[in-house]
Structure 1
């Protein structure tokens, strides 16, 4: 199992068992991972988890901007076949949905989107027939370009969690931290100008249909913690920008490629990504659609009072897409 340069935080057996038992009990009592009653009970259950679990879920504290939480397990037979599409997943891997919700709530506040995967707080990321060439999690045969998750939206997550259910082919997730790049002061200044909009990706049909004019936003800015990024080249009309800006943007792409690491998750691993510092993607692969393909669970987290966004960004409109925030 190759985690590249991603630091690993190891759950001991007692902590892993505590998480699983708590998730199973909540699921048994509420009947579904999407039940409103379960969402209402998650905050108290997360708060009651052990100090060890809370410590392992502390903020990402290295320039890498990522870590792998390891120690949970997945029974490959019991979990069932990889769904052919997120909409057919139903309750498959429901204990893992609840486990990710617990971890996400320890880290902050889980968020969902009205127009994505029916407003679920935990998404199923699986290759799907007919979507092979898209720049979304349902693709397979193309490189999923490094990007900030939901970069188009001012209410995007501070943290992204990817829990591995199945990865027989060791397909790597890529991750690159802007704080590992060697950009010049001139390039940083150029890319800190609000020059271009970022458009919603193909999984947000409602937002794509919006007639609202998306705002121009900076690609980079300095926060209290260091250099920060909002980056999605596949959905940024870079050709509209002046030549000097396009050149600086290309140098940023080159630098992110240079510092990129490949993280091949094993079942039970949870990759935690600082969405303000790190872009993530995925290498190409050929899906079999036979129930054995790569299967990830995804959760998004906002961290209250985190000051890593430009002040002006808090005044941006939602651009045709509403976020749903889990109860406190």
Structure 2
């Protein structure tokens, strides 16, 4: 299994050269932009390509791959950290957006999702995470509230394989760590009784506040019994029996015990294996001064676990289908 950190600083100039060939205004024609990033993904430095391919094939025990030292603009050349969405259509390409898309293209297909929440979330490939004053307490826009462990889009039949987070700005005090709990580390902490109860146990999860009867079916542990996938969101899974509650509590405690805090700083890109990880984020203090934490996020699908059916194109929207 691959190591969890790759130092990209030696390739900074080479990566800048790649980014410089991309369209300067990506949102003016996103399909063409993604086609260009796929082409450039084949020209990444060999060591970086090898590290991404190894992680894509085998993963690692930590459940994430962290690229450090990627090219980012000097802070005084970056626009102010936004406070509202979506980004302006005419905003110039940022280096960490370019890195996000080129690296994503090496792993699979950058994908937009209809997430099944009505109009609460915009349907786009390129998301941005920064503190917003009116953020929902379970969204990435919150700051003072800790985001609890969850698997992104665990209720979606075409759940993304990877979550990519690239950092243009870290938070002021260095407290907004991404909290990563790997099932490969947590599994040995679970008793046989808990493993057997959770494996292929179907829990329901609501996904539409306007329709309480709309349910998806989620298995906390599934796949290979000795090396399972995890799908966890304690806030949404409906436990039906005392045994359910005890088993979910045990899984939550095990993930918490093995939690690693990954603090993203300028020039970092974090790749999370969304089938092996439950993740959260530590609270931090926003200052609303134009220099708050600013991440870029994208989802990537691969042909693993039936996530692709053939013929898809990067940037396409996956219609919502609840997991059954």
Give the 3-state SS of the residue equivalent to 1:174 in structure 2. strand
Give the 3-state SS of the residue equivalent to 1:188 in structure 2. helix
Change (3 A) 1:174 1:272: same
Q: Which residue of 1 aligns with 2:184?
A: 179
Deviation of 1:194 after TM superposition, in Å, equals 3.5
For the 8 Å contact 1:175–1:280, the answer to whether it is kept is yes
Give the 3-state SS of the residue equivalent to 1:245 in structure 2. helix
Deviation of 1:210 after TM superposition, in Å, equals 6.0
Q: Which residue of 2 aligns with 1:123?
A: 127
Taking structure 1 as the reference length, what is the TM-score of the superposition? Answer: 0.82
State whether structure 2 residue 17 is matched by structure 1 residue 21.
Answer: yes
Deviation of 1:146 after TM superposition, in Å, equals 1.1
Unaligned runs of 5+ in 2: 308-316
Deviation of 1:174 after TM superposition, in Å, equals 0.5
Change (3 A) 1:33 1:100: farther
Unaligned runs of 5+ in 1: 1-5, 201-206, 310-317, 324-328
Change (3 A) 1:17 1:94: same
Deviation of 1:209 after TM superposition, in Å, equals 4.3
Q: Which residue of 2 aligns with 1:147?
A: 150
Give the 3-state SS of the residue equivalent to 1:106 in structure 2. helix
Give the 3-state SS of the residue equivalent to 2:47 in structure 1. helix
Deviation of 1:67 after TM superposition, in Å, equals 2.2
**2:169 aligned to 166, 170, 182, which one?**
166
Q: Which residue of 2 aligns with 1:314?
A: none
Match runs of 1:230-249 below 5 Å: 230-238=231-239, 241-249=240-248
Deviation of 1:235 after TM superposition, in Å, equals 2.1
Give the 3-state SS of the residue equivalent to 1:21 in structure 2. helix
Which stretch of the first structure deviates more once superposed, 184-193 or 115-124?
Answer: 115-124
Q: Which residue of 1 aligns with 2:222?
A: 221
Change (3 A) 1:252 1:211: closer
For the 8 Å contact 1:89–1:124, the answer to whether it is kept is no
**1:65 aligned to 38, 52, 63, which one?**
63
Change (3 A) 1:97 1:212: farther
For the 8 Å contact 2:206–2:216, the answer to whether it is kept is no
Q: Which residue of 1 aligns with 2:259?
A: 260
Deviation of 1:139 after TM superposition, in Å, equals 0.8
Which stretch of the first structure deviates more once superposed, 224-233 or 177-186?
Answer: 224-233
Deviation of 1:151 after TM superposition, in Å, equals 1.4
Q: Which residue of 2 aligns with 1:195?
A: 202
For the 8 Å contact 1:87–1:117, the answer to whether it is kept is no
Q: Which residue of 1 aligns with 2:137?
A: 134
Change (3 A) 1:42 1:73: closer
Change (3 A) 1:118 1:275: same
Change (3 A) 1:308 1:8: farther
Change (3 A) 1:218 1:257: same
Within 2, Cα distance between the matches of 1:117 and 1:142? Answer: 19
C-alpha deviations, 1:141-166, integer Å up to 9, x for none?
11100111111112111111111111
Taking structure 2 as the reference length, what is the TM-score of the superposition? Answer: 0.82
Give the 3-state SS of the residue equivalent to 2:60 in structure 1. coil
Q: Which residue of 2 aligns with 1:78?
A: 77
Within 1, Cα distance between the matches of 2:318 and 2:214? Answer: 8
How many equivalent residue pairs? Answer: 297
